[in-house]
Chains A and B, each alone.
Chain A
Amino acid sequence: MIASADNFLDVAWWSWLIVLLPLSAAGLIGLLGRVLRGASHWPSILGVAGALAVSIWLFLALPASPAGSAAGHGAPAAHAAQADHDAPITHDAQSAGRMDAPVSVPAAGISYFDWILTGAVTTQAVIEARLLIDPLTIVMLLTVTSVSLLVVIYSRDYMRDHHGHPERGYERFFAFLALFVASMCILVLAGNFVLLYMGWELVGLCSYLLIGFYYPRPSASDAAKKAFIVNRIGDFGFGLGVLSIYLVFGRLDYEGVFAAAQAAFNAGDPQALATLQDLLYLPSLQAAAAKAAEIQSWTTAICLLLFAGAVGKSAQIPLYVWLPDAMEGPTPVSALIHAATMVTAGVYMVARCGPLFTHSPLALQVVAAIGCATALFSATIAVTQFDMKRILAYSTISQLGYMFLGLGVYAAGSAIFHLYTHAFFKALLFLAAGSVMHAMNGVIDIRLCRGLRKILPITAWTFVIGGLALAGFPLLSGFWSKDEIVVAAMAFNPVLGWLAMLTALLTAFYTFRMIFIAFFGAERTPPEAEHPAESGRWMTFPLVLLAVGAVFAGYLGVTFGGAHPFAGLFTPGGRFQAFLAGPLDSYRLALEASGRHAEHSTVLPYLAAGLSIVGILAAWFVYLRKPAIAEAAARSSGPVYRLVYRKYYVDEVYDLLVVGVAWLLGLFLYFFDRYVIDGLVFTATLVPRTVGFFTRRAQLGALQGYALFMVGLSVLVVLAVLLTA
């Protein structure tokens, strides 16, 4: 396959197009927006479609790694107990004997130009504009660009009123959307931490711009500001993490840092030390040994700092507060940025930095704990909300928590798998909610819109499909991916596993609470909706496509065959994870080292499926069959219900304790500045003033006087010079 690898390098060189096509679409709309107006969606659609096309081209050109090609055929039973879990990976002929042998990764790192010169002499001096294309990148690219394309197509109608006239800011919307796709692709394609940071900040910017799209509305512009600032708090940690990496490793490119980290944690091996010396330009093996110790002592700090960025971007506790507010943006934005793509950047980053995270058990425990806590916490909030988009927002936070839980229990492949399936069904849910909103003229409160199944058939049924996938209903995409995470968590720590199970139950419940209220039962539409009708084809077409994805996307991660017909179905693996085996290899190695990998389980999946169905039935019973129960329950649990309904008052507490205190501090410092510091200066001027008061007589205001003074001073200086010389 050598020729193929060369070919891949050639193809990979073109990946700059993935960034440039949407970017130039954004630029084009920015410059010609006034001319394009109602046709502004075309550059965006074409740009994003181009990016998707190049991504597919990359995918096709990717040389099959030995592991990937073998695992495509499933896991033969020849491999003993363990093989079920890591079947896709151990198929590598060489690694079959040695469990810790790394899998070869088909990857292409391409440097385009020198970006920042750090002035270093003994280490890497240049931070390049460098892209890295490997299977993980490609999975992310395909997910991002395909969902983006559907969302852009959907927006063509969504951003118009019922007479087909473009909304105010139509061209601005599509320019920002294209800019977002370009930024997200930078994030995903980045080959070093600085470029990653660039993508990271740029998607944050696009998020800011799009949340504040309806900027005359104070709530929208407040939400935008909040999103940016809260993200910045995370980025503070992330940035320090990047700087720490440079401090410790002296370089910032992924390959170098990761390889050095691996070598440093294997420092007993002289070969590894030599590698480390080579990678970090160290003068001697002794220096390499010292460096290895330094790296080991810094890794946890680096991981926690990087994870702070992920907490901000992926809306985890304690920085999740911006995401529900971000629903102020147009719904396609919520679907694309705040559900399917941008918010998953943190998950991607942690998965990408596996070689660092897997060497810090503490960091991964933090990741797992925060993920699990967030998943449960926001699921409880989702149960009490009435705004469809907000319910979905809390659900997104919860599902992101699942992904972090997966990462924290070393199931990175499953986390990315869930990221990928989630992108489809959550985008679907948001777009369908947007379709409701479009039909209801902006109203999305499920207390006002009920029984919409008849009016909006396509929307309703695609929503139900998305809901089933989200609820983890058997055989739909969400089931496969969530199940893998639950199984992995259970094996790792039963507490985490059972909490994840509980969350799954809640998820099914709140999803179908929303569905049963909004789409079933007696029909009721808000007065604002004058002529409620199903949306046009530009909107329903993406819905249907995404629904197909929500049903079938999960089968990429399913292993068929095995000991008995269904055995393989419930084991993590399949094509999807085999494809990602290389980039996520560090997680596999760490899991094996920890000896806690998932037991082959036939009970848990049935249990998870059962819980999902129980949740759905409970929602049906409470909200369709006996609606009185819900109200009674809400009333009887008064304070608790209110606490959850008001989202545990976290926003209020932050406003008071963080913003309020900082503002007061600012005010205090301002007065301090004006009256104390400036006052001191004023006091200092009193000295010359007093002198001046007494010597005023000497100043006749005439030029001669000053001249005399200057001459006198000069004479004194000269005298001083002569006397001391």
Chain B
Amino acid sequence: MESWLLTIMIFLPLAGIPQIVALDDRHAGKARHIALAVSLLSLAVTCYVIVLFACRAWGTGEQALEQRLALMALSDNSGAAGPAFQALYHVSVDGISVWLIALTALISPLSIWGSYSYIQERQKGYYSLMLLLQTAIMGVFCARDLLLFYVFFDLTLIPLFLLIGIWGGPDRRYAAFKFFIYTMTGSVLFLGGILYLAWRSYQVNHVFGFDLDMLYGLAPSLSAEEQKWLFLAMFAAFAIKVPLFPFHTWLPLAHTEAPTAGSVILAGLLLKLGTYGFLRFAVPLFPEATWFFAPLLAGLAIVGIIYTALVAWVQDDFKKLIAYSSVSHLGFCMLGLFSLKVAGLNGSLLYMVNHGLSTGALFLVIGMIYERYHTRSMKDIGGLAQRMPRLAFFMVFFALASVALPGLNGFVSEFLVLLGTFVSNSTYDGYPLGPLDYRYAVVAALGIILGAVYMFWWLRRVLFGPLVEPRNNHDPEHGHSFLPPDINARETSILAVIAAACLFLGVYPKPLLTSMEPALRSSVLNVVYTRPSAVARQEDQRHTRSLSEGLNTQHAGPRTAFTPLFSIEG
């Protein structure tokens, strides 16, 4: 039973779909309640999963609750013992995925709840797709098999494509197709990479298979050239998803046209598929290529941080502003990741969770404004704090979380990312020198200023100053969704839940950091710093040994007796 727990968690949302579809059209309004209930149930299961994970693998971050089923196993006539072709259903949680799963389980019901008043048409379809999307995202984060990951990864495309295309804004068709084609292009190249990798695995291990546990061991037998090409194939899918500059142009459009919940899930969860993909696959599978590309990708990330922050600043449509700010923030995420330091990786992973919370909440806030005024142009509205003090509170709160005010969640991750980048060229975390150095962090830190610039400009124009409201406030199309001037109890509760999470993670991020770090060390950094050349490998064996010693005493406070293996160079 317990081995099925993850499967239940992943597929539980689907259980709501038949119920919704079976609804009589007259009672279509009930679809939202069913969807919410199912999604909350899934949240409950996720909580149980987290508790189990905490009991088993808290300090080690190892895989827990693994389930492994062979979907297809064919043998060839080579006479080898195992199957020659293998497709697995292999799911598990570890310290890397567990918090992203938790984020998914939290954001999904909240975005369903947030759609209650906005979605008035084709509710059955809408809520079914929302549930399907939740399953797909859960699947992505749980998958331990590359092909399974790919299936879930592409499965996320379809519901979101439809959500944008059907319930989106005026330009929804174009936006949906652009989103679809962009992402699809990336994932086709990704698929090519996967197949090549499986084929190489066949050559080495005699298994044409996709199991990560097997593929992780493949790196030494891949030549540097192969790694680079494979890395680029994965890069195509993930960089578009992140989105990394200059592959970001689909995002602002998709965001502006998507319905609120679509934007929340897109920014809060789907973008993390890209960074998660780098963290889980591209980096540990191809360490040599990672080393080669790290400075380049960090450079792109930094350009993205500054470039999109400046672009965000001059936007008039404030949904676009937040969309561009998302690109800027994800740049930090990528930068931390390619610092290849524990602090940077920890920060990057935490950044994914934090960005999901704060940007998700900002999109919800924007949706709440849009539902009342049907405009997102800052020319048409202003001084809303007078009309909506409660909304103003939350908007300022999440804007502060987003500009990394210490005490709120964004700070911890941004600090760690910059710290990791800053000390990338040091050996504090027990690993040899990393690929970046402090100069990267200095430039990236300009994003701190620019983040405040566009965020506070936005607050100033939307919330403060004299009250400006569009004259034709109740357009007939949406006239039936009557809402009070300030946010109601439902909307307040949604935002309050996220705000509480932001505050908690800002003050006490330790539970997350403690469980992430060992997993990042064992499944990413240990691999990355094991480079195939013989000398490096010897060095690393020594190093890995000392690392495990280091880990045992790690949180016992500063050590005085510990002698590092790598003295600082120069």
Pairing of A with B = yes
Q: List chain B residues, Cβ under 8 A from A208.
A: 456
Residue of B202, B314, B429, B448 near A670 (CB, 8 A) is: B314
- The 8 Å CB contact of A666, one of B313, B429, B445, B562, is B313
- Look across to chain A and name the residue whose beta carbon is closest to the beta carbon of B425: A247
Of A118, A216, A666, the contact of B311 (CB 8 Å cutoff):
A666
Q: Are A232 and B203 in contact (CB under 8 A)?
A: no
CB neighbors of B among A106-123 (8 A): 113-123
For the complex formed, measure the closest distance between the CB of B250 and the CB atoms of chain A, giving whole angstroms: 8
Which residue of A117, A123, A681 is within 8 Å of B510 (Cβ)? A117
Q: A121-B547, A216-B466, A665-B310 are in contact. Are A197 and B509 (CB under 8 A)?
A: no
Interface 1/0 per residue, A216-257 and B, CB below 8 Å:
111011101100110011011001100110110011000000
User: B464 interface residue, CB < 8 Å from A?
Assistant: yes
- Judge whether A283 and B564 touch: CB under 8 Å: yes
Q: Which of B405, B430, B441 lies in contact with A243, CB distance below 8 A?
A: B441
Determine if B311 and A673 form an interchain contact, defined as CB atoms under 8 angstroms apart.
yes
Residue pair B315, A121 in contact (C-beta under 8 Å):
no
Residues of B within 8 A of A202 (CB): 405-407
| Distance (whole angstroms) from the CB of B179 to the closest CB of chain A | 12
The distance from the CB of A128 to the nearest CB of chain B, in whole angstroms, is 9
From A120, A229, A236, A251, residue with most partner B Cβ within 10 Å = A120
Given contacts A205-B400, A287-B567, A673-B311, contact A120 B467 (CB under 8 A): no
If A243-B419, A685-B181 touch, whether A117 touches B438 (CB-CB below 8 Å) is no
Question: Which residues of the other chain, A, contact B267 by a CB distance below 8 angstroms?
Answer: none
- CB contacts (< 8 Å) of B411 on chain A: these are 198, 201
State whether A122 touches B562 (Cβ < 8 A). yes
Is A615 at the interface (CB under 8 A from chain B)?
no
User: At the interface, yes or no: A662 with Cβ under 8 Å from chain B?
Assistant: yes
Interface residues of A in 121-154 (CB under 8 A from B): 121-126
A628 located at the interface, meaning its Cβ lies under 8 Å from any Cβ of chain B in the complex = no
Q: Point out the residues of chain A lying under 8 angstroms from B418, CB to CB.
A: 239, 243
**How many angstroms from the CA of A725 to the CA of B456 in the assembled complex?**
60
Q: Are B426 and A121 in contact (CB under 8 A)?
A: no
- Bound CA span A30–B148, Å: 48
B residues in contact with A284, CB < 8 Å: 567
Measured CB to CB, the closest approach of chain B to A380, in angstroms, equals 30
Q: Are A218 and B203 in contact (CB under 8 A)?
A: no
Residues in B541-570 with C-beta less than 8 Å from chain A: 547, 550-551, 554-555, 557-560, 562-564, 567-568
* Complex Cα gap A125–B559 (Å): 9
Q: Could you tell me the distance between the alpha carbons of A222 and B446 in the complex, rounded to whole angstroms?
A: 22
With A239-B418, A669-B311, A677-B249 known as contacts, the answer to whether A216 contacts B567 (CB < 8 A) is no
Q: State whether A121 touches B564 (Cβ < 8 A).
A: yes
**Which A residues touch B405, using CB under 8 A?**
201-202, 205
With a cutoff of 8 Å between Cβ atoms, the chain B residues found around residue A194 in the complex are 406, 415
CB distance from A130 to the nearest CB of B (A): 12
Complex alpha-carbon distance, A235 and B403, angstroms: 12
Q: A229-B456, A247-B426, A666-B313 are in contact. Are A235 and B448 (CB under 8 A)?
A: yes
Given A221-B464, A239-B445, are A117 and B310 also a contact pair (CB < 8 Å)? no
User: Closest residue of chain A to B550, judged by CB?
Assistant: A121
Query: Complex Cα distance A35/B565, Å?
Result: 62
Pair A116/B558 contact, Cβ less than 8 Å: no
Q: Is B224's CB within 8 Å of the partner chain A? A: no
Binds A, one of B22-30, B33-41, B338-346, B365-373: B338-346
Is B492 an interface residue, CB under 8 A from the partner? Answer: no
| Most chain A CB atoms below 10 A, which of B307, B385, B428, B513 | B428
Is B407 touching A225 in the complex (CB atoms < 8 A)? no
B562 in complex: contacting residue of A212, A281, A667, A725, CB < 8 Å: A281
CB within 8 Å for A113 and B508 given contacts A212-B464, A244-B438, A247-B422: yes
Given contacts A243-B419, A669-B307, contact A123 B428 (CB under 8 A): yes
Give chain A nearest CB distance to B173 CB in angstroms: 16
- A229 and B449 contact, Cβ closer than 8 Å, known pairs A120-B342, A673-B249, A685-B181: yes
In the assembled complex, the Cα of A224 lies from the Cα of B507 at a distance in Å of: 26
- Contacting residues, chain A, for B456 (C-beta < 8 A): 208, 225, 228-229
Is B67 at the interface (CB under 8 A from chain A)? no
Q: Is A721 an interface residue (CB 8 A)?
A: yes
Interface residue A215 (Cβ < 8 Å from any Cβ of B): yes
Contact check, A662 vs B452: say whether CB atoms are below 8 A apart.
Answer: no
Q: Which residues from A are CB-within-8-Å of B273?
A: none
B-chain residues with CB within 8 Å of residue A648 when the two chains form the complex: none
Q: Mark A197-213, 1 if CB is under 8 A from B, else 0.
A: 11001100100100010
Cross-chain contact of A229 among B202, B426, B453, B465 (Cβ < 8 A): B453
- Smallest beta-carbon distance A385→chain B, Å: 26
A116-B415 Cα distance, complex, nearest whole Å: 9
Residues in B neighbouring A233, C-beta threshold 8 A: 449
B470-522: which residues lie under 8 A (CB-CB) from chain A? 507-510, 513-514, 517
CB-defined contacts of B510 to chain A, threshold 8 Å = 113-115, 117
Look across to chain A and name the residue whose beta carbon is closest to the beta carbon of B195. A717
Contact B558 A215 (CB under 8 A): no
State A126–B310 Cα separation when bound (angstroms). 35
Tell which of A125, A244, A283 touches B558, judged by Cβ atoms closer than 8 Å. A125
A240 touches B442 (CB 8 A): yes
Q: Which residue of B lies closest to A682 (CB)?
A: B249
A216 CA / B383 CA spacing, docked (Å): 6
Smallest beta-carbon distance A512→chain B, Å: 38
* Docked-complex contact B460 and A119, CB < 8 angstroms: no
Query: Is the beta-carbon distance between B554 and A125 smaller than 8 angstroms?
Result: yes
Q: Is A678 an interface residue (CB 8 A)?
A: yes
B311 touches A117 (CB 8 A): no
Bound complex: CA A113 to CA B504 (Å): 14
**CB-CB < 8 A to A224: which residues of B?**
460, 464
Which residue of the partner chain, among B315, B400, B428, B452, contacts A250 with CB atoms under 8 Å?
B428
Cβ-defined contact, A221 with B465, below 8 A: yes
The answer to whether A663 has its CB under 8 Å from any CB of chain B is yes
Given the interface contacts A121-B562, A126-B555, A202-B406, does A662 sit within 8 Å of B310 by beta carbon? Answer: yes
Is B457 among interface residues, defined by CB-CB distance under 8 A? Answer: yes
Q: With A228-B456, A666-B314 in contact, do A236 and B449 touch (Cβ < 8 Å)?
A: yes
Indicate the member of A116, A123, A124, A232 with the most B CB atoms within 10 Å.
Answer: A116
* Residue pair A281, B559 in contact (C-beta under 8 Å): yes
Q: Are A725 and B464 closer than 8 Å at their CB atoms?
A: no
Q: Is there an interface contact between B438 and A215, defined as CB atoms closer than 8 Å?
A: no
Q: Is A290 an interface residue (CB 8 A)?
A: yes
Query: In angstroms, how far is the closest chain A Cβ from the Cβ of B455?
Result: 9
* B386 beta carbon closer than 8 Å to chain A: yes
Whether A528 is near chain B, meaning CB under 8 Å from some CB there, is no
Q: In the complex, what's the smallest C-beta–C-beta distance from B200 to chain A, in angstroms?
A: 11
Which of B311, B314, B457, B465 contacts A218, CB < 8 Å? B465
Shortest distance from the beta carbon of A701 to any chain B beta carbon, whole Å:
17
CB of A652 within 8 A of chain B? no
State whether the Cβ of B524 lies closer than 8 Å to any Cβ in chain A.
no
| Residue numbers in A under 8 Å from B343 (CB-CB) | 118-120
Chain B CB within 8 A of A278 CB? yes
CB of B101, distance to nearest CB on chain A (Å) = 21
Indicate if B199 sits at the interface (CB-CB under 8 A). Answer: yes
Contact of B422 among A215, A243, A721 (CB under 8 A): A243
4 A-B pairs closest in CB distance: A119-B342, A221-B464, A198-B406, A121-B430
What would 12 A/B residue contacts be, using CB atoms closer than 8 Å? A118-B428, A122-B428, A122-B564, A125-B558, A215-B385, A236-B449, A239-B445, A243-B423, A283-B564, A290-B568, A663-B313, A669-B311
Given A283-B567, A662-B310, 11 more contacts at CB 8 Å?
A: A119-B343, A122-B427, A215-B463, A216-B466, A221-B464, A232-B448, A232-B452, A247-B426, A291-B568, A666-B314, A669-B307
Q: Which residues of B contact A (CB under 8 A)?
A: 181-182, 195, 199, 202-203, 246, 249, 307, 310-311, 313-315, 341-343, 345-346, 383, 385-386, 400, 405-407, 411-412, 415-416, 418-420, 422-423, 426-430, 438, 441-442, 445-446, 448-449, 452-453, 456-457, 459-460, 463-467, 507-510, 513-514, 517, 547, 550-551, 554-555, 557-560, 562-564, 567-568
